[in-house]
Structure 1
Amino acid sequence: MCSLRPGDIKVTPKSVFAELPDNYKISEEQFKFYNDNGFLVIKQLIDFGSLYSYKKRFSQICNGVVPRGQVTVVKEPKLVKEMKNAEDYVNKLQDILYDDVYATYIENPRLLHVVSQFIGDNLSAVHTMLINKPPGTGRHPPHQDLYYFPFRPAHKIIAAWTAIDDVTVENGCLYVLPGSHKGGVVYEHGYTEKFNRMYHGIMAEGTVAPESKRVDLEMSPGDTVFFHPALVHGSRPNVSKNHRKSISCHYASSECHFIDITGTVQQRIADEIVAESRRRGMELTYEEIWRYRSKHVKGMKSNL
């Protein structure tokens, strides 16, 4: 059994949530926890006003009230035929970094201050999502985000994932495998079940991510988890009657550079994403796709 339980997760509550400062100092204890476990939860990092604006924007985009621009709308296949309202079958909005409202999260000074303390002051946003997870949405199998990224070094990449709604086991919270980021291994991924397109999971799930080692991250609105890209994690199915919204962004340091993933376990997903882009009429390499999805957000520009 895993020795780390949810109650052991190091968090630092703040007494004032209405108006938050633009900085948040990470303690030595928090640094150690992140380095040892591959993740860190900070309570009430993002204010309620911002969270409300993200929910409102989601509704506006889903219902065509505002142009979606470069945002990609991803639907939950099994819910599309069952539900009439878009908000009940849209699983997530992807590539939200150029949307005026969502850019306020990606470039939030308080969030960037935390990220900078982990990976440096020169930052690019490289992957962005508003995740909806309506009732009936299935699980996201255990995986590593690094599997998708054709750039390194891994320790100069970090994810920020903020709860917009209350996040519980019942409505599909994240789970993590503490310490699984260590060792520099990117596991073989693929379709272990009939998951949505691009939802690759670790093939040796029972060995790499047994249920006994998973720690559920139940979170309140504004709580934010930061995690290493090699950390094995996933999410539960939403078996509740409520939606579970969150917003996330992966950041990479200017020290990161593209690598050749030809012949590696990552080539499977690269080929699939390139094929999808061609289906949409875009002749791009995997590296070009990631350059297109990235945005410089702080300090000096990077190689991404």
Structure 2
Amino acid sequence: MTVVPPAPVAPSATDVTTPGVLEESYEQDGFAILKDVLSRAELDALLAETARICRGELGEIDGAVATSPDETDDEVIRRFLCIHYPHKLSSLVLDTMRHPAIVDALTRVIGPNVKAMQSMLFVKAEGKPGQAWHQDEMFIPTRDRSLTAAWIALDDATVENGCLWVLPGSHRDGVIYPNREHDDPRYDCTVESYDFPWSDDDAIPVELTAGSVLLFNGYLLHKSLPNTGRHGYRRALANHYMSAESLLPWALPYEGQSMAQADFRDVVLVAGRDPYAYKGVEQLRRPRIRPDRDGGCDR
């Protein structure tokens, strides 16, 4: 008799008020959903801020095209797929990076001392591509493997408009899988991970209501597909965090410094204390756009 494995089941929100549930879900599956973290008023403020950021009203964005006062917010916003480091432009985005409910969950899965090093504002209007299978830790290496993402839905994230898909448990081995360039038109110009022991049949879509948060491990394989909806956006704010007790070798070491001592210091402390505060904080990265295949990829 042929045994047919059960189909993947869509994840449900984690009841963070029950002790241990968040931690167990995160450890077992590599992710947890925090439902309704942001209020409607907080969401509306962030959506309005998105338009101001895209218009360049809060500061320069490398790679962005200048806007005209005659253009509507809708015309301006839909040019963008993703803006990196919006917390360097907007105090509201920076405050959201430090949102108490998100920070509380982070301290429960990372530890009492937490720092952030990156934010990304996704717009993803209809027709915009997704991102191929990848692991965040491959891009942002932490010494203690504590990298954690908080993916905040600013709109309802659905299969139709390009929500995230995850491979539950793919974080457990702590293996960084190989990556390669690709020419798949469904995805942006970022490389894809491959040669891992799961298939697309094992993937689960993570649909979120606006204001909910997907918390996930830096080793978790995840991807997104294009926004195939007939209208509208899939806006989201994604922040990356790690233990403040770990060094962050995200850039080449300074001259005379070993890789073991390399420590990227363009960080924001969001909880507890920073044992490396004596090094100070540097402004190393600038807000920039992510290429979305429009006109090809600059390899």
Normalised to the residue count of structure 1, the TM-score between the two structures is 0.76
Aligned to 2:271: 298
Corresponding residue of 2:70: none
Q: Could you tell me which amino acid in structure 1 is paired with residue 78 of structure 2? A: D
> 1:74-119 CA deviation, whole Å, 9 max, x = no partner?
79xxxxxxxx922111112211223211012101112111111111
Q: Give the equivalent residue in structure 1 for 2:99.
A: 108
Q: Cα 1:243–1:34, aligned 2, differ >3 Å: closer, same or farther?
A: same
- Which of 160, 168, 192 aligns to 1:178? It is 168
- 3-state SS of 1:85 partner: helix
Opposite residue 54 of structure 2, the aligned amino acid is C
1: CA distance between counterparts of 2:170 and 2:275? Answer: 28
The letter for the 2-side match of 1:214 is: A
CA displacement 1:211-240 (0-9 Å, x = unmatched): 101000111011111000000001111011
Which residue matches 2:292?
none
- In the alignment, which residue of structure 2 is the partner of 1:11? 14
Equivalent residue, structure 1, for 2:113:
122
Moved over 4 A (4+): 1-4, 71-75, 287-290
Q: Which amino acid aligns with 1:104?
A: D
Q: State TM-score, norm by structure 2.
A: 0.77
Question: Which residue does the alignment assign to 2:137?
Answer: 146
For the residue of structure 2 that corresponds to 1:159, the secondary structure is: strand
Q: Distance in 2 between matches of 1:58 and 1:289?
A: 31
What are the ranges of 5 or more consecutive residues in structure 2 without an aligned counterpart?
A: 66-73, 253-258, 282-299
Matches within 5 A, 1:25-174: 25=17, 27-64=19-56, 66-68=57-59, 85-98=75-88, 99-154=90-145, 156-174=146-164
Conservation of the 8 A alpha-carbon contact between 2:165 and 2:224? yes
Letter in 1 for 2:38: I
Query: Are residues 139 and 176 of structure 1, via their aligned partners in 2, closer, same or farther at CA, if it must alter by over 3 Å?
Result: same
Give secondary structure in 2 for the equivalent of 1:121.
coil
Q: Report the counterpart of residue 231 of structure 1 in structure 2.
A: 220
**Deviation of 1:160 (Å):** 0.6
Mapped partners of 2:107, 2:62: distance in 1: 28
* 8 Å Cα contact 2:13-2:35 kept in structure 1: no
* Contact 2:244–2:269, Cα closer than 8 Å, also in 1: no
Aligned length: 255
Letter in 2 for 1:295: V
Whether the aligned pair in 1 keeps the contact of 2:248 and 2:264 (CA below 8 Å) is no
Q: How far apart, in 2, do the equivalents of 1:74 and 1:11 lie?
A: 38
5+ residue gaps in structure 1?
13-23, 76-83, 262-269, 272-284
- Check the 8 A contact 1:10/1:30 in 2, yes or no: no
TM-superposition CA deviations, 1:155-202 (whole Å, max 9, x none): x221111111011101000000000001110011122225544x1211
Identity across the alignment (%): 24
Deviation at 1:67, TM superposition (A): 2.5
Q: What is the CA-CA distance between 1:248 and the residue it aligns to?
A: 1.3
SS of match in other structure, 2:59: coil
- Structure 1 position 73, deviation (Å): 6.3
Q: Is the 8 A contact 1:74 1:92 kept in 2?
A: no
Partners of 1:140 and 1:44 in 2: CA distance:
25
Which of 180, 189, 213 in structure 2 is aligned with 1:190?
180
CA gap 1:170/1:74 in 2 versus in 1, 3 angstroms: farther
Q: Residue by residue, what CA displacement relative to the aligned partner does 1:261-304 show, whole Å, maximum 9, x if unpaired?
A: 9xxxxxxxx79xxxxxxxxxxxxx9x989433x22222211549
Change (3 A) 1:258 1:42: closer
SS at match of 1:32: helix
Structure number having the greater helix percentage: 1
